[in-house]
């Protein structure tokens, strides 16, 4: 074997998204891009807002004598202060620049946090369905994922959380708006969940970190807003990226921030800053740090996402697909008409529709699609969705008739 058994196993676990990507390329080469409807990847395609582009140009065209040098591993101090000021504006807490680490996206932030806090065998609870990369991030640092189921409508379940907590529980990752469901947790749901976190921490005799992974926070619909989770639970670590809200997925810029209500947070920040260096990130990209620092209140124009969402929701309701209406992000997570989700995905391929089975996200019987695609792909796919559902329902009806 040319690669480690751990990586081999990880490749197998993540194979569905990879397979869909490769199959999509094959189908596009054979039938043409306009005939293939690839909803498999959450790849934001909207351009960054003009304010960000203007700021980046200003930096690139300005003095270059210092901005390309090494810096503190946690990032430029003036950038961290601006991030802290934005956090303070949002929740009223007394954030300082020293509470913030600039990172290589949210993925980088999660990895430096986990490296800083996990001992081998420690457990990290994730609410299922969940972003599949959490499994690999936790494994990177010797930890173990514990899946905590959510309700039928994907709400966090405080009783389920309490049943999952053990003496080895180190952190809980919460993701709202959620990938893959688009679910936004309400203030009431967060408050009840935070109370369960307090109870669990008291039970095991040490605080459990609540990690709020929120790169979709500004991508919401119909006037929905996301609660400031750090206002409800003291030991909260805020993690985000600007991949979605500023349309910078390929630029890899984000941050980790430890709540001012964590008594010994500077120990956590020091550990995570050290991990930022030793994991090979060293520091977040300098130009991107400087650019996003002044763009914290900007966001991409989400109207196209909203229209894509409306088109799919209206069509899916009309053809009889069941789903929980997403309030944020750019995903739908419908049920698979009662059939195995892997089989559903294979049947969808026959209509040149590429989606991902829900079992890959910890919730079988569903499939995920991303509507961060050009609107022409949405409208072009509608007849294919109708053919797929009609064919599967007809097959199911024939099977029931045969059984009778």
Instruction: For residue range 291-314, list pLDDT tens digits in order.
Output: 999 999 999 999 999 999 999 999
Instruction: For residue range 140-152, list pLDDT tens digits in order.
Output: 999 999 999 999 9
Same domain, 34 and 86: no
Q: What is the pLDDT of residue 403?
A: 45
Same domain, 244 and 347: no
Residue 404 belongs to a domain: no
CA 97 – CA 111 distance, rounded (Å): 20
CA 118 – CA 99 distance, rounded (Å): 20
**Full-model pTM:** 0.94
Same domain, 130 and 278: yes
Taking alpha carbons only, the member of 167, 172, 216, 217 closest to residue 193 is 172
Same domain, 275 and 359: no
- What is the rounded radius of gyration, in angstroms, for the C-alpha atoms of the chain? 22
Same domain, 141 and 172: yes
User: Residue 87 maps to which CATH number?
Assistant: 3.40.640.10
Taking alpha carbons only, the member of 42, 301, 290, 270 closest to residue 175 is 42
Query: Which of these three, 293, 311, 338, is where a domain ends?
Result: 293
Owning domain of residue 65 = 50-293
E-strand stretches of 160-314: 169-174, 209-213, 236-241, 254-258
Residue 34 belongs to a domain: yes
Query: Which of these three, 229, 262, 293, is where a domain ends?
Result: 293
Beta pairing partners, 356: 368
358-373: b (≥16 Cβ within 10 Å) or e: bbbbbbebbbbbbbbb
Same domain, 328 and 283: no
Q: Is the dihedral of CA 183, 187, 193, 197 positive or negative?
A: positive
pLDDT at 172 over 90: yes
For residue 93, report the phi and psi dihedrals to the nearest 5 degrees: -75, 160
Instruction: For residue range 345-361, list pLDDT tens digits in order.
Output: 999 999 999 999 999 99
Q: How many residues does the chain have?
A: 404
Residue 79 belongs to a domain: yes
Instruction: For residue range 318-355, list pLDDT tens digits in order.
Output: 999 999 999 999 999 999 999 999 999 999 999 999 99
Cβ-Cβ contacts under 8 Å for 239 (sequence gap 6 or more): 106, 109, 110, 113, 211, 212, 213, 214, 254, 255, 256, 257
Taking alpha carbons only, the member of 50, 37, 1 closest to residue 383 is 37
Same domain, 118 and 37: no
Residue 16 belongs to a domain: yes
Instruction: For residue range 42-78, list pLDDT tens digits in order.
Output: 888 899 999 999 999 999 999 999 999 999 999 999 9
Residue 403 belongs to a domain: no
Query: For the chain, first and last CA: distance in Å?
Result: 51
How many separate domains does the chain show?
A: 2
8 A C-beta contact, residue 326 and residue 332 = yes
CA 192 – CA 341 distance, rounded (Å): 32
Residue 87 belongs to a domain: yes
Query: Which of these three, 251, 269, 293, is where a domain ends?
Result: 293
Same domain, 265 and 349: no
E-strand stretches of 35-89: 37-38
User: Residue 382 maps to which CATH number?
Assistant: 3.90.1150.10
Same domain, 59 and 40: no
8 A C-beta contact, residue 158 and residue 127 = no
């Amino acid at each position: 074997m040319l690669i480690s058994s751990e990586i081999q196993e990880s490749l197998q676990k993540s194979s569905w998204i990879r397979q869909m990507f490769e199959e999509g390329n094959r189908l596009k080469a054979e039938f043409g891009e306009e005939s293939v409807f690839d909803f498999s990847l959450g790849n934001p395609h909207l351009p960054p807002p003009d304010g960000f582009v203007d700021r980046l140009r200003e930096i690139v065209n300005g003095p270059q004598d210092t901005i390309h040098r090494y810096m503190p591993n946690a990032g430029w101090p003036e950038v961290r202060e601006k991030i802290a000021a934005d956090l303070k504006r949002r929740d009223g807490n007394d954030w300082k620049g020293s509470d913030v680490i600039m990172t290589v996206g949210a993925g980088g932030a999660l990895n430096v946090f986990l490296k800083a806090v996990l001992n081998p065998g420690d457990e990290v609870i994730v609410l299922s369905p969940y972003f599949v990369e959490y499994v690999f991030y936790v494994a990177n640092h010797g930890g173990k994922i514990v899946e905590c189921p959510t309700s039928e409508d994907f709400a966090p379940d405080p009783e389920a959380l309490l049943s999952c907590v053990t003496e080895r529980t180190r952190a809980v990752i919460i993701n709202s708006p959620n990938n893959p469901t688009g679910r936004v947790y309400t203030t009431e749901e967060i408050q009840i969940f935070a109370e369960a976190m307090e109870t669990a921490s008291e039970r095991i005799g040490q605080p459990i970190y609540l990690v709020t992974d929120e790169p979709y926070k500004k991508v919401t619909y119909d006037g929905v807003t996301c609660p400031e989770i750090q206002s409800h639970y003291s030991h909260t670590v805020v993690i985000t990226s600007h991949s979605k809200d500023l349309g910078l997925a390929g630029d890899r810029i984000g941050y980790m921030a430890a709540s001012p209500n964590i008594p010994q947070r500077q120990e956590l920040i020091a550990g995570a800053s050290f991990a930022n260096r030793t994991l090979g990130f060293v520091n977040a990209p300098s130009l991107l740090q400087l650019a996003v620092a002044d763009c914290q209140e900007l966001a991409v124009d989400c109207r196209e996402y909203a229209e894509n969402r409306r088109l799919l929701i209206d069509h899916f309701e009309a053809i009889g697909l069941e789903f929980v209406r997403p309030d944020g992000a750019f995903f739908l997570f419908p049920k698979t008409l009662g059939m195995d989700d892997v089989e559903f995905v294979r049947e969808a391929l026959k209509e040149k529709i590429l989606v991902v089975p829900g079992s890959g996200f910890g919730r079988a019987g569903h499939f995920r699609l991303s509507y961060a695609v050009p609107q022409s792909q949405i409208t072009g796919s509608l007849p294919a969705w109708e053919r797929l559902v009609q064919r599967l329902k007809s097959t199911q009806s024939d099977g029931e008739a045969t059984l009778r």
